[in-house]
Amino acid sequence: MFERRFYEQHRAEALENFLKSAGTVVEFLNNEKFIEYRTSYGEALMYFDSSLLQIAKEFDQCISKMFSGALASYNKADKDRAVELFWEICDTLRNNPPRSKIKG
C-alpha cells in the first residue's frame, strides 16, 4: 500500500512540475526555462498514460524546434501548436486529476 501511495504522490508531483515548466517555457522563451522544462518532461514521461503520451511527445517536438537554432528565428506556428497542445494536456488532466488517485 505504501508503495502505491508513493507512486501516485510522485506521479502527481511529476505531472504538476511538467505543467508548470511547460506553461512557463512556452510563455518565456529562454534557455534556463528550456532546461527546467526538459528535466520535468523526462520525469513526467514515466507517468503519462497512453492518451497523453502522443500529445506530450508532439508538444516536446514543437518546443525542441523552437529551441533548436536561434530563438529569435523560431517558427511562430510551432509556438502556436505548442500552446494548443499544452491546453489539450491541461484539459485531459483536468478530467482525470493526478492527485485524485492518492488515497489517505
Q: Which residue has the higher pLDDT, 96 or 88?
A: 88
The string of pLDDT tens digits covering residues 11-36 is: 999 999 999 999 999 988 888 899 99
pLDDT at residue 103, as a whole number: 64
Please list, in sequence order, all residues whose beta carbon lies within 8 angstroms of the beta carbon of residue 33, skipping any fewer than 6 positions away: 21, 24, 25
**Residue 73 main-chain phi, psi, to 5 deg:** -110, 20
Supply the pTM of this predicted model.
Answer: 0.85
Structural domain count of the chain: 1
86, with CB counted inside 10 A (0-12, 13-18, 19+), is buried
Domain that residue 29 falls in: 2-101
Residues 75-84 have a mean pLDDT of 89
CA distance 37 to 3: 27
Residue 97 to residue 81: CA distance in whole angstroms: 23
